[in-house]
Structure 1
Amino acid sequence: MLKSKERRLLRMLSSFRWIATRFFKAEGNKRVFMPLSLISVFCVAVSIFALIVTFSVMKGFDKELSKRLIGFNSHLLLYAPQGEMFSASPAFLEKKTFAQKNEIERIVSYIEGEVVVTHQFGAENYVQGAKLRGIHSLEDLPSDAKFFNTSMTKINAGELILGDEIAKSLWIHPEFESKVKVLAPQSVLLPTGDLGPNTTEFAVTSLFLTGIYNFDGKYIFSSFEDAVSLLGEQKQQVWQIFLRQETKLDEVTKSLRNILPHGWNVSNWKEQNEKLVSALQFERKMMLLVLSMMLIISSFTIIGVQTLSVTEKRHAAALLKTIGFPDKKIKALFYYRGLSIGVVSVLTAVFCSTVVLILLQKIHLELPSSYYLDYLPSEINIMAIILFSLFGILLSLFSSYYPVKKIFEVHPCEVLRYE
Structure 2
Amino acid sequence: MSGTTGFRDELRAWLREHAPAPGADLDAAKSFQAALHDAGYAGLTWPKEAGGQGLGPEYQQVFDSEAAEYELPTYPFLIGTGMCGPTLVDLGTDEQRARYLPPLLRGEEIWCQLFSEPGAGSDVAGLQTRAVLAGDEWIVDGQKVWTTNAQWAAYGALLARTDPDRPKHAGLTMFVLDMHAPGVTVRPLRDMSGRSPFNEIFFDGVRIPADAVIGQVNGGWHAAVTMLGHERVTIGARRRAKSNPLDFTAAVATAQRLGRAGDPGVRERLAELYVHERALELFNARLREEAAAGRSPGARGSVGKLAGAMLARLAIETVGEIAGTGTVAWAPDDARGDEVALGITSAPSASIAGGTNEIQRGIIGERILGLPKEPSVDRDVPFRELRVGTQGKAAQQ
More helix by share: 1
More strand by share: 1
Same fold per superposition (TM over 0.5): no
Which TM-score applies when normalising by structure 1?
A: 0.22
Which TM-score applies when normalising by structure 2?
A: 0.23
